[in-house]
Structure 1
Amino acid sequence: MLYTQYRTLQKWKLSSLSFALLCISAPSWADSTPPEQPSTTDPIQTLDTLSFQAKAIAKDPDISAIAKTTVTREEMLKYGDQSVNDTLRRAAGFQMPAPGQGPRGSGGASGMRFRGGAAPIFLVNGEPVQGGPRGGMSIVDTLTPDMIEKIEITKQPSVAYGSVASGAVINIILKEPLKNAPIGGTVRAGYSLAKAGQNDEDRKNLSLQMDGRDQSWLYSFSANQMWTDATRVTQTQTANQTREQKRVIEQRSTLFAPRVEYEIDSKQKVVGEIFYRKNESDGTRGDQIQNDGNESIRFNTRYERKDQGDSDKVRFSVEKQDETESTRALQNNSYIDETINEYGFAYDGVRKFDAKKQIKFGLDTRASELESNMTDTLDEKRYALYAEGSWKFTDRQTLTLGARQEWLDRSGLVEYTDQHFSPVLAHRFDFTKEWSLQTNISQAFRSPNSNRLTPTVTLSTDADAGSLNNPDRGGNPNLKPEKVTAYETTLGYNTAAGGVNITAFQRDIDDYIEKSIQLEGDRYVERPYNQNNATTYGVEITGRYALKQTVQGHSFMLNGQLSTVRAKVEDEQHHERLVSDVAPYTASTGISYNYQPWQLASSINLNYVPEFTRALENQAYDRTSNARFNVDVSLTKRFQQGWATTLTGRNLLSTDYKEKLTDQNTGAIYQARNNQAIPSVMLSVEKKF
């Protein structure tokens, strides 16, 4: 595909609208990264395949000023990604939990933060997915790259996805069934071994992805089974003593996802898919035994019609999810059994009047019931209507204006009714085909999820359980919704070979929801509470450079990001402090190199989080988290007849995860925890058929 390397510079002048939007958001730049063109060159693909994929990306008829970044399965495999979280580590704005480290982070998608606020919204094929009633693992945590076609990342507020307040949507599109074979797929087996001192982890993984077509019927089946046996040693320290505690953990994770599509004609199809997921975890430490379980089944069905730029989609979903947690010890015993039943119906429509005007509109209705053996039943009903129009009123300028009206009704454990109106305005100015300026302004409300409302207390583990440094966890039925006003701007330079985007953002949040630790009886419990006001702002820089496959068979890709965030809270007495668990910045970079003649692909990724100290809410202590650095590497060799093997290294050269509480007046140590980093090596073998 020819690329013109020399382009005549064109004179340009900001329109009054673009200048006004820029002035409004001058204190805060936001991430509205223009769609990046990820490198889609697979080490075993031919140049013809590369040309076909480039054309497919260019056919997107969407003219919205709200940008979207797409990461393909090929890119995920090149970087050696094993999960969705591995992919998001390379995207600016996301602060990931340390996997298996720290008392509050499980490493799953539920523990992720976006720009100092709440976790982003996750979708699978456009359908929202949930974790456990109290934030347990979700479908997202069990998907592998073999099951994924692409991941669409929208970081700006969008009324179409109900992300007006959170400002980030991760839409995971599952692998499309083949259209030229009755059956095909990939089976992969992997074994991982990790060891550091007394810590060790043994993990086995088996996954299957197959699909095919029979006339108008398309079908696919995905399965993933994982077994993990781990021994983890945590060192705790107080002013008087230092001791070690050992935990032995056995985990099992299962996912089955069959899907069937029927093409009515070239413009219409019906899709039905089922997700069955089961996670079990058994852990022991001294006299404490922990047994956790999470099982869910979800059925999605949808009707889709696409006619060039016009489309209609009708969606219906049903999900039942059970989560249990049993803690047995000499001093404390608890058993929690909670169930969520959820029903959803939605419609999404797009009408493209011409090449310069389009409108998106739809409705979303959801009803859920949370039953618990510890509290009253919580019933919830949500209704929403939205409309979003885009107008490319000059060759260089695009305006998008949208609004979402939501109604919320809760009964049982919590009794209240609420409604919110959320507008969004976005403007994009293309100076040239490479340079662009994009601005987004929005106002929205974020109602707390059901897992934040249930007051049920989950007991923490380890010998220091129930302490300030390792508190129990619970919800708060008295939470009020957050009111969020956001300003976001991005200046971007993007070409087919890569580009650089500089983004800045600011969010003013009334009734900000923050987790706070308070003493309840003789144990400390961490619960979400409303603070008076909060402000988050920062700057993000993302860069990408890709060398397409040369005649000699070389291809190269460099990716890097630096994301800064400063989150301040103001209480009712107008005292300001920094949010306790938001790092000031994160940085990462990755290099991928492929050599076609040898069918060899390699990558290395580096991640860094600096040391930071924050005051604890309502406590006379400061918490310091140490600087953390880790390296991930991946090497894939492909053979004839569809065989391939991958060697992956995780947490190489990593620093330990340390947290320390010190007295704000004297600086004396109160408590400290040290979780040793565990480097791991995984060998996997795959066979395509």
Structure 2
Amino acid sequence: FDASLGLNDAKSSSDERIYTNGILGNVIHNRDESDGVMLWTKLSGQHHISGTELAEWKLKYHQNDSDGENRSGTQLQYDESLFRVMGAEGSYSRAQGEHFIKTGAELKRLTQQEDIRILNSGIETSNEHQRLRQDKSSLYGQDEISVGENTILTPGIRYEYVSRDFGASSHLDYFAPSMHLLYRLTSNDNIRASIAKTVKLPRLDELSDTVDSSLELNDLNHPDVGGNTNLKEEKALSYEVRYEHFFEDKGIVSIGGFYRVIDDKIEKLTTLEGGRYVERPYNAGEAKLWSIELELKKSLSGFVNGLGVFGNATFQNSSLTLNDSKRPIKATNDYLYNVGIDHTLSVYRLTYGAAYRYVGGYDDPMDENGIAESQKGYGTLDLYATKRLDSTFKTGVNLKNLTGTTIETTTKRYASGSLVETQTDRVNSEPHILITLEGRW
């Protein structure tokens, strides 16, 4: 049995200053408050039927309940949201000669409730309610085949059936085959390769027809946020290859890459609706994404007992084709990396360390709605520590964003090929602390 409980209470305020020809014309004060409760539980079991057969099962329940209040000028918005996931999984595995066969089934129900009220000078101007449900059932099978002493092939196939009710009803089913290869060059070196079809379903909130208003802060970088009931699923074919080297004293270094072709890529686009900017998800077109990934995890116990370093980096590029025009996938960062160092004091069951993450910028050209956006790169520094209290409980503290990161985004809007509006936002974030307590029975 595993469980976690999360409590959240957040408050933020901002002042938007609007200048015309260098002269301050208006100041809009915005205050946003929210609180929420997240409950996650899982009950699972394993049953060794024989020396070569294993049955596994899992039951899970997840609930996220949140309330929010957003005030801007004379306008006030109340938000209530309830999201639930209930699921069951079962699998059967059997080793037979050079084969390791695994089959299984999954059932999952997702429900979401949204209630949004907007008041202007105390008078209710909007009251929206949305109820959404998704049922998904899956069957899968795979065979891990040993070919000689150094090669393992794993073909597999998955079938899924999805039923949704969000005011209208929809049904979808599909097969997703895959093939994976593991080749052992030496006892410390591997090559992995795979090809797989995947299907990414829209989230329930992306299908919602409710609109979360930005109130008086409505502009290019602060649009109203809504869903799209006509949104279709993404379908992708992915190719991946990776080389891995394992160190004798623990750790790994690897280099790999993937190439992915995506049909009906889902993107968030901003348009003018009734004089207000509204951001909604759309199926933008056929996309291609390719990437090179590096990873390093190395023990330095030869210098200091319990010391280690880690890091990873991703370099990526993309394209999206729609109506014979081509542009990058929106908000695709050129690169990102994460580096860190940690130290474990085994006698105290304590691990502490630091991690720095940098996200490269992007420069998106004008999209089909006349919007172009660019963002500068930014980095964050975290310090953390975890301590095992006993066999059941572990506690941790994370000092996040010590660098007080500033994210600068510039958005431009064009009409008939001419630039008509430019907006630059600088979001200054503050350091904060996260304290956790985990238990496992």
Q: Is 1:487 aligned to residue 268 of structure 2?
A: no
Match among 71, 77, 80 for residue 293 of structure 1? 80
Unaligned runs of 5+ in 2: none
More strand by share: 2
Instruction: Indicate whether 1:336 and 2:128 are aligned.
Output: yes
Q: Please list the CA deviations of residues 198-220 of structure 1 after superposition, one character each: whole Å capped at 9, or x if unmatched.
A: xxxxxxxxxxxxxxxxxxxxxxx
Asked if the contact 1:517/1:617 (under 8 Å) is kept, the reply is no
| Code of the aligned partner of 1:627 | G
Name the CA shift for 1:683/1:250 in 2 (closer, same or farther; >3 Å).
same
Q: In the alignment, which residue of structure 1 is the partner of 2:226?
A: 474
For residues 61-80 of structure 1, the aligned pairs below 5 Å read none
1:565 has 2:356 as partner: no
In structure 1, how many angstroms separate the alpha carbons of the residues matched to 2:141 and 2:394?
47
Match for residue 325 of structure 1? Answer: 116
- 2-side partners of 1:653 and 1:663: how far apart? 32
Q: Confirm or deny: 8 A CA contact 2:105 2:139 kept in the other structure.
A: no
Choose which of 180, 190, 204 in structure 2 pairs with 1:436: 190
SS in 2 for 1:528: strand
Structure 1 CA distance for aligned equivalents of residues 246 and 289 of structure 2: 27
The amino acid that maps onto 1:498 is G
Q: Does 1:464 align with 2:217?
A: yes
1:612 aligned to which of 359, 362, 365? 362
Distance 1:296 1:568, change over 3 A: closer
Which amino acid in 2 is paired with 1:322? Q
Indicate the residue corresponding to 1:167 in structure 2: none
Kindly tell me the number of residue pairs found equivalent between the two proteins.
427
> Which residue does 1:279 correspond to in 2?
66
CA distance in 2, matches of 1:648, 1:597: 21
Tell me if 1:253 matches 2:34.
no
> Which amino acid letter does the alignment assign opposite residue 487 of structure 1?
Y
Could you tell me which amino acid in structure 2 is paired with residue 231 of structure 1?
Answer: S
Of 313-322 and 430-439, deviating more is 313-322
CA 1:408 to 1:687, structure 2 compared with 1: closer, same or farther past 3 Å? Answer: closer
Q: Where in structure 2 are the equivalents of 1:140-159 lying within 5 Å? A: none
Aligned partner of 1:505 among 238, 244, 258: 258
- Measured after TM superposition, the shift of residue 311 of structure 1 is 6.5
Aligned equivalent of 1:680, options 429, 432, 436: 432
Q: Please report how far the alpha carbon of residue 553 of structure 1 lies from its aligned counterpart in structure 2 after TM superposition.
A: 8.7
Give the conservation status (yes or no) of the 8 Å contact 2:135–2:164: no
- Aligned residue in 1 for 2:286: 533
Identical aligned residues as a percent: 20
Query: Take 1:288 and 1:623, find their aligned partners in 2: how far apart are those partners?
Result: 28
Offset at 1:474? 2.2
Distance 2:106 2:440 in 1: 32
User: Deviations along 1:119-147, whole A, 9 cap, x unmatched?
Assistant: xxxxxxxxxxxxxxxxxxxxxxxxxxxxx
State whether residues 517 and 618 of structure 1, in contact with CA within 8 Å, keep that contact through their aligned partners in structure 2.
Answer: no
Pair 1:243–1:500, CA change in 2 (3 A): farther
CA distance in 2, matches of 1:260, 1:454: 33
Bigger relative contact order, structure 1 or 2, given CA contacts below 8 A and separation 6+?
Answer: 1
In 2, Cα distance between equivalents of 1:333 and 1:283: 15
Structure 1 CA distance for aligned equivalents of residues 435 and 167 of structure 2: 49
CA distance in 2, matches of 1:635, 1:268: 37
1:564-583 pair list within 5 angstroms: 564-572=315-323, 574-583=324-333
- CA deviations 1:55-98 (Å, max 9, x no partner) are xxxxxxxxxxxxxxxxxxxxxxxxxxxxxxxxxxxxxxxxxxxx
Q: Which aligned pairs between 1:218-233 and structure 2 lie closer than 5 A?
A: 222=3, 224-233=5-14
Work out whether residues 234 and 675 of structure 1, in 8 Å CA contact, stay in contact via their aligned partners in 2: no
Cα shift readout 1:614-656 (whole Å, capped 9, x = no counterpart): 1242344432212211100024567899998754311101321
Corresponding letter in the other structure for 1:232: S
Q: Is the 8 A contact 2:308 2:343 kept in 1?
A: yes
How far the C-alpha of 1:338 sits from its partner, in A, is 2.2
Secondary structure of the residue aligned to 2:217 is coil
> Within 2, Cα distance between the matches of 1:483 and 1:606?
34
What is the CA–CA distance in structure 1 between the aligned matches of 2:384 and 2:236, rounded to whole Å? 40
Tell me: CA distance 1:605–1:237, structure 2 relative to 1, closer, same or farther (3 Å).
farther
The gaps in structure 1 that reach 5 residues or longer are 1-173, 176-221, 345-364, 366-383
Q: Could you list the per-position Cα deviations for residues 216-251 of structure 1 after superposition, in whole angstroms to 9, with x for gaps in the alignment?
A: xxxxxx452524242332545555447463414141
Alpha-carbon distance in 1 for matches of 2:214, 2:10: 20
CA distance in 2, matches of 1:666, 1:412: 39
* Paired AA for residue 113 in structure 2: D
Q: Which amino acid aligns with 2:12?
A: T
CA distance in 2, matches of 1:567, 1:385: 32
CA distance in 2, matches of 1:599, 1:415: 53
Query: What amino acid is the match of 2:430?
Result: I
SS at match of 1:326: strand
User: Given the superposition, is the C-alpha separation of residues 687 and 261 from structure 1 closer, same or farther in structure 2, using an over 3 Å criterion?
Assistant: closer
CA RMSD in angstroms, aligned pairs only: 3.9
Amino acid at match of 1:390: E
Partners of 1:685 and 1:535 lie apart in 2 by 41
Worse overlay, 326-335 or 302-311: 302-311
**Contact persistence 2:111–2:131 (CA under 8 A):** yes
Is the 8 Å Cα contact of residues 239 and 670 (structure 1) preserved in structure 2?
Answer: no
Q: What is the 5 A alignment of 1:592-607?
A: 592-597=342-347, 599-607=349-357
Is the contact made by 1:518 and 1:618 (CA closer than 8 Å) also made in structure 2?
no
Asked if the contact 2:132/2:165 (under 8 Å) is kept, the reply is no
SS at match of 1:633: strand
Say if 1:326 and 1:415 are closer, same or farther in 2 by CA, change over 3 A: closer
Tell me: CA distance 1:296–1:310, structure 2 relative to 1, closer, same or farther (3 Å). Answer: same
CA distance in 1, matches of 2:79, 2:230: 27
| Residues 521 and 509 (structure 1), Cα distance of their counterparts in 2 relative to 1, 3 Å cut | same
Contact 2:135 2:163 (8 Å CA) reproduced: no
- The 1:558–1:336 alpha-carbon spacing in structure 2 relative to 1, beyond 3 Å, is farther
Go from structure 1 to structure 2 and tell me whether the alpha carbon gap of 1:400 and 1:600 turns closer, same or farther (over 3 Å shift): closer
Amino acid at match of 1:610: G
Distance of 1:636 and 1:595 partners within structure 2: 11
Contact kept? 1:601, 1:637, Cα under 8 Å:
yes
Separation in structure 1 between the aligned mates of residue 204 and residue 420 of structure 2, nearest angstrom: 39
> Which residue identity does 1:569 align to in structure 2?
L
Query: Judging changes above 3 Å, is the alpha-carbon distance between structure 1 residues 643 and 405 closer, same or farther for their aligned structure 2 residues?
Result: closer
Q: 1:249 to 1:414 in 2, by over 3 A?
A: closer
Residue correspondence of structure 1 range 351-362 to structure 2 within 5 A: none
Answer whether contact 2:267 2:330 (CA < 8 A) is retained: no
CA distance in 2, matches of 1:471, 1:422: 36
CA–CA distance in structure 2, aligned partners of residues 640 and 269 of structure 1: 27
Q: Is the 8 A contact 1:506 1:536 kept in 2?
A: yes
Deviation at 1:291, TM superposition (A): 2.2
Q: TM-score w.r.t. structure 1 length?
A: 0.54
- What displacement does 1:504 show? 1.1
Contact 2:361 2:377 in 1 (8 A): yes
Q: TM-score, normalised by structure 2?
A: 0.80
Number of the residue aligned with 2:277: 524
Q: Write the letter of the residue equivalent to 2:131.
A: T
